[in-house]
Amino acid sequence: MVSDDTHDRTIALLEKHNYFGLGKHRVDIVKQENVPAMMDNNARIAIDTEQMKVITKPHGHGDIHNLLFDSGVAKKWLDMGKEWMVFIQDTNALALKAIPSILGVSRKNNWQMNTVCVPRMPGESMGAICRLVDESDSSKEIVINVEYNQLDALLKAKWNKDGDIKNEIGYSYFPGNTNTLVFKIPEYFENLSKTGGVIPEFVNPKYANAEKTVFKSPTRLECMMQDYPKLLTSSGEVGFTMYETWYCFSPAKNNIKDAAACVAKGIPSYGAAEAEYNFYNWTNKMLELAGVQIDYETEKTDYNGMQFAFGPKVLLDPMFAITFEEIKCKFAGQNKISRHGTLILKDREVFFENLSLEQGSLVCSDGGKQPGAKISFERSSQGDSEIFQIRGYKPVKG
């Protein structure tokens, strides 16, 4: 799903990379319409004074349900015999790691909707999965995401006077929603045929002051794809599946300043620096579970306010391995990768026995092996490309 803000650049990116091997006929694109933005709590319409036009913004990712129905894409997938579909948020690269297992859980339980969840800290800026029960009729209940800006007040009023508190191991009692969602297509299409997939709206401004009177930027009415359970009847079964956070959730949506502010509060930064670090961390953890010895830096290094102790930089292409069983069978004997090593694996025919990568880089792709220089990270600066500025660090060859 694209909007007026992203459509042209998305098409250009897909065409530049030849649709990343999918083929154009396998990519369905639906476009949502922008809606007028509001500039304050009185809902005054925001105006671009230089161009003298109304400022508009996308209506929210909840439009995906209506668009899949109206465009005929959901019916097309149903007619193709597809059983399941997965929604991902493009800020979270680790979402793809959970897809094989979350599909298995969904099929085993025959759930119409399944949400990938992780433990969340009280006050963390992510929605929480709750079971809401109708006070007038306890037989009516719904399992649904409650957004973080509404959660604490709801809990104080209906659950605990202290609101979103820590449990015995330091996390919130309510699982964090990663917005990786699985839907069972036959029931999904049947429900869209009844409802049109129109999701209820809400407004979620980001405030610039403690009094909550000034918006950081114009906001808009929006809807969320995870509110889909509101369209279900009592017969629709909804569930969630918990993972450890490192396995499936590290979004990149905050700039360096906001990311540092989150770290100061003791919550995840949700910045590009941590997202990339956690992508390497995922591979290192999986390799360790598979018996590979991984060497990490002993002290953290500061990268423009963000501190990390990197291990080796290892990237596993899906062609090399997708599941844990596939990773395990790729490494035999005693294997060790130093924190100074970089390993990029793209070839499904590559297997290792007694690998010792002390420093330098090794790329295994399409039947060939390409050794290279040692790669390390150093602070980025204002003169660097934007892709390095948003991280706070950049790669350099030794």
Q: Does 243 share its domain with 304?
A: no
Residue 278 lies in a domain: yes
Q: How many domains does the chain have?
A: 2
Residue at 259: amino acid letter: A
Of 33, 75, 69, 74, the C-alpha closest to 196 is: 69
Q: Are residues 76 and 202 in the same domain?
A: yes
Same domain, 231 and 370: no
How far is C-alpha 381 from the geometric centre of its chain's CA atoms? 27
Q: Are residues 314 and 232 in the same domain?
A: no
Ordered alpha helix ranges (H), the chain? 7-16, 63-70, 73-79, 99-109, 148-158, 185-195, 245-248, 256-264, 272-289, 324-329, 386-389
Predicted TM-score (pTM) of the model is: 0.86
Domain limits for position 112 = 32-147+173-249
23 in a domain, yes or no? no
259 domain residue, yes or no: no
Question: In tens digits, what is the pLDDT along the chain, a chain of 398 residues?
Answer: 998 889 999 999 999 999 999 999 999 999 998 899 999 999 999 999 999 999 999 898 999 999 999 999 999 999 999 999 999 988 999 999 999 999 999 999 999 999 999 999 888 888 999 999 999 988 888 999 998 888 999 999 999 999 999 999 999 999 999 999 999 999 999 999 999 999 989 888 888 888 888 899 999 999 999 999 999 876 778 999 999 999 999 999 899 889 988 888 888 889 999 999 999 999 999 999 999 999 999 999 988 888 899 999 999 998 999 889 999 999 999 999 999 999 999 999 999 999 999 989 999 988 788 888 888 999 999 999 998 999 999 999 88
Does one domain contain both 74 and 180?
A: yes
Residue at 299 is within a domain: yes
8 within some domain? no
On whether residue 6 sits in a domain, the answer given is: no
Look at residue 89 and give its three-state secondary structure: coil
Tell which residue, 76, 80, 42, 101, has the closest CA to residue 286: 101
